[in-house]
Structure 1
Amino acid sequence: MFKIQTINKISPSGLQKFPLDQYEVASEFSSPDAILVRSAKMHDLAFPKTLKAIARAGAGVNNIPIEKCTEDGIVVFNTPGANANAVKELVLTGLLLSSRKIPDGISWAKELVGKGDEVGKLVEKGKSNFAGPEILGKTLGVVGLGAIGMLVANAAEALGMKVLGYDPYISVDSAWALSQKVKKAKSLDHLLSQSDYLTLHVPLLDSTKGFLNKEKFEIMKPGIRILNFARGGLLNKRDLFSALESGKVARFVTDFPDEDLLKNDKIICLPHLGASTPESESNCAIMAVDQLKDFLENGNIKNSVNFPEAEMPRNGGARLIIANKNIPNMVGQITTVLAKENVNIEDLLNKHRGNLAYNIIDVNKPLNESQMEALNSIEGIIMSRLLPQKLKA
């Protein structure tokens, strides 16, 4: 019986995928096998030795101590793409908000309360203050063509926009799903120079922090409108304010407000609503649960932020999973121990990610406690676990 601890409220559509005869789910456990979490901060938590995995029902994992988990052999999963449609729809909303001065118009219209029969005339007189361009035929630059950026690009093209995309690391899946009418930018600078609207869909890394700065703003068209629904910190804030003041940037829309951004009248701030839909929460929970189950039952790893991708079909028998430091002769030492114990290897998968390696080994018979101890005595082994024969679906 696997014990799954939930931190935060997890959508029931995900939790109901745990078979009741194989899993116990609760918000409090002293020794859980896995944890399901959304946004709760876990950096100060003490993890029990029983903990094998953490699944984040969402994409960002800043709330999880990744390095500590890796050292302890705890696999950390996230759910990239599960909230992609929710974010795409909000980006399209932001696109229109940036163009038509809709928030300003709404605020002004509310000031007419109490004007009675004068409202109609005042509206006709004042509406010209909130005019803005249509998006039809304009060029949208999409930086980052992952699950969200690809959907945004396709949707914008369907709305009649010309779309330029830039992503030197685009995945095969995204490339296949991208509309043929989306044009590939020769470079980031080429995209910036051609775009009337710009939307960012890249992670916040050392290499991307503040990457839109004074130098990049100078390349852009005057009056460009910029959307950031990816991560805060992708723009140099001081340079952004200068570009807004000069008119180089007409509007900036973001899902990541702070005090300074909220004070600027040319910035539209949304309260991090990207994934705030019941459909998104359900999708994230289902994806997180599926990944946890596959790991706990079969040792397969998909969408981990600290372990390599590793999937191998079950043959129905016993299976070993082993994580170790990615150093020479580890596989040789493991297979030597198994041979000495008269354990035959029927199939083996070895993957690595940076300084970490992960092995899935199907064996002809279950190992006993002393045989597992012999494996764990190998220097460099971080985690090992014996999985019984495949559980019933």
Structure 2
Amino acid sequence: MYKIALFNKVPKNILNLLKKDKYELVLNQTSNVDGIVMRSMDIHNMDFSTRLKAIARSGAGVNNIPVERCAEEGIVVFNAPGANANAVCELTFFGLLISSRKVIDSIDWTRSLNENVVENVEKGKSQFVGPELKGKTLGVIGLGNVGHLVANLGIKLGMEVIGYDPYISVKNALGLSWDVQYTNDINELYKRSDYITLHIPYNDETKNYINKENIEIMKEGVKILNFARTGIINEDDLFNALECGKVGYHVSDLPNEKLINAKNVVCIPHLGGSTHEAEENCAEMAVTELVEYLEKGNISNSVNFPDCSMDRYPESDRIIVLNKNIPNMINTIATVLAKYNVNIMGMVNKSNGEYACNIIDIKGDITEEQIREMESSLGILRVILIK
């Protein structure tokens, strides 16, 4: 029986994937559980039991999870890339509209009218006149699951679209409209864009990605949208640019104390993936990944271990070995199994640079004590036996 901790509400139809004869569900605890399904809770300072094998994040970002620590403890971390992509794409275009037409400001002004509403509306509406999106240039930084949808929708709305992503996947490249202009020069995007929207992860490489230096390259009055992650815009540089009008408007789905009081900024309360469809899609992907790993040892959409899967060899047991990607590991594993008179029937090995995964179907008896002995070998992080 697998024990799964739920750190967020999961739709009832998705919980049905966790069969009652195989899974026990508990709320908000980590002690003695095999897996965690979670969303936005920050668990960096949480202690994990030695029984914990996997964490499934019901969403794309994993900034709230200690990914590297989990890898060192042999805990596979999954996310749900693309499951909420359409929801974020739709909200991004709402952001484009409100940055262009000052819709939020106009609504607030209209609500302040106490008398002669019709007359005052006709007199005052000119202060909210803004440009149409059609014919304007949209710069999309990051052409992943969300970004390529945003770029394609921009084309459909009659915008000129420039995309930049040095790491674009083959799948997303094939899904990109032929009318999207792809550039390898980010400065070209900065110079030409009337609107710039960010769809990149937060990491050491993207910290303060938008800053004083590249804002200076941009058009006067450029609108900048962030529906990605906190930290990729240097906020002090942004505020200075908003104050002098270099940046005409900023729309963020990631509010904080400084942003909500800044000039020409609209903050949305992190609603990018907050649709019923997106939340269900994310939960289904996360739970499916968790089940596939616990029951079969197959890994897909992990952020700390490589994708690795294999069909089960008939009438075999299965061993999952997670290890550091160092020389001679396969030989080490095979030697230990031979020592226990265990025959390898099928095996697949995958690595992602620093870490590796081995799925091994075996015939022959192997005990939990022998499994623990395998784990003591240099470089091996975790060994899991699936009967």
TM range (shorter): over 0.9
SS in 2 for 1:357: strand
1:26 equivalent in alignment to 2:30 = no
Alpha-carbon distance, 1:278 to partner = 1.4
Distance 2:129 2:82 in 1: 35
Give the 5 Å matches for 1:30-109: 30-109=31-110
Distance 1:369 1:211 in 2: 48
CA deviations on 1:312-371 (whole Å, 9 max, x unpaired) are: 222232111111222221210111122233322122111223332211111234523454
**Is this contact kept in 2: 1:87–1:275, CA < 8 A?**
yes
Aligned residue in 2 for 1:121: 119
**Is this contact kept in 1: 2:3–2:23, CA < 8 A?**
yes
CA deviations on 1:189-226 (whole Å, 9 max, x unpaired) are: 01111111110011111221112122211211112111
Aligned residue in 2 for 1:231: 229
**Is this contact kept in 2: 1:139–1:162, CA < 8 A?**
yes
Alpha-carbon distance, 1:152 to partner = 0.7
Aligned residue in 2 for 1:274: 272
Cα distance 1:324–1:31, how it changes in 2: closer, same or farther (>3 A)? same
Unpaired runs of 5+ residues, structure 1, are 389-393
- The letter for the 1-side match of 2:56 is A
Distance 2:54 2:257 in 1: 36
**Is this contact kept in 2: 1:10–1:38, CA < 8 A?**
no
Alignment RMSD, CA only? Answer: 1.6
User: Mean alpha-carbon deviation: is it higher for 361-370 or for 204-213?
Assistant: 361-370
Alpha-carbon distance, 1:136 to partner = 0.6
Distance 2:372 2:270 in 1: 48
**Is this contact kept in 2: 1:320–1:385, CA < 8 A?**
yes
- The letter for the 1-side match of 2:44 is H
- The letter for the 1-side match of 2:179 is K
SS in 2 for 1:147: coil
Aligned residue in 2 for 1:193: 191
What is the number of residues matched between the two proteins? 385
Give the 5 Å matches for 1:1-393: 1-27=1-27, 30-113=31-114, 115=115, 118-316=116-314, 317-388=316-387
**Is this contact kept in 2: 1:325–1:356, CA < 8 A?**
yes
**Is this contact kept in 1: 2:372–2:383, CA < 8 A?**
no
Distance 2:140 2:17 in 1: 36
SS in 2 for 1:9: coil
Alpha-carbon distance, 1:303 to partner = 1.2
Distance 2:251 2:372 in 1: 56
Distance 1:157 1:250 in 2: 23
**Is this contact kept in 2: 1:42–1:65, CA < 8 A?**
yes
SS in 2 for 1:259: coil
Distance 1:286 1:87 in 2: 18
Distance 1:218 1:201 in 2: 21
Alpha-carbon distance, 1:301 to partner = 0.9
**Is this contact kept in 2: 1:10–1:37, CA < 8 A?**
no
Cα distance 1:243–1:21, how it changes in 2: closer, same or farther (>3 A)? same
Distance 1:13 1:284 in 2: 13
- The letter for the 1-side match of 2:325 is N
Distance 1:29 1:223 in 2: 49
Cα distance 1:373–1:134, how it changes in 2: closer, same or farther (>3 A)? closer
SS in 1 for 2:62: coil
SS in 2 for 1:350: strand
Unpaired runs of 5+ residues, structure 2, are none
Distance 2:68 2:18 in 1: 28
SS in 1 for 2:126: helix
Distance 1:231 1:374 in 2: 42
- The letter for the 2-side match of 1:21 is D
SS in 2 for 1:141: strand
Cα distance 1:222–1:373, how it changes in 2: closer, same or farther (>3 A)? closer
TM-score by length of 1: 0.94
CA deviations on 1:201-252 (whole Å, 9 max, x unpaired) are: 1111122111212221121111211111111221222221222222221111
Give the share of equivalent positions with the same residue, in percent.
Answer: 53
Distance 1:238 1:30 in 2: 42
Distance 1:112 1:205 in 2: 46
SS in 2 for 1:103: helix
- The letter for the 2-side match of 1:98 is S
Distance 1:199 1:252 in 2: 10
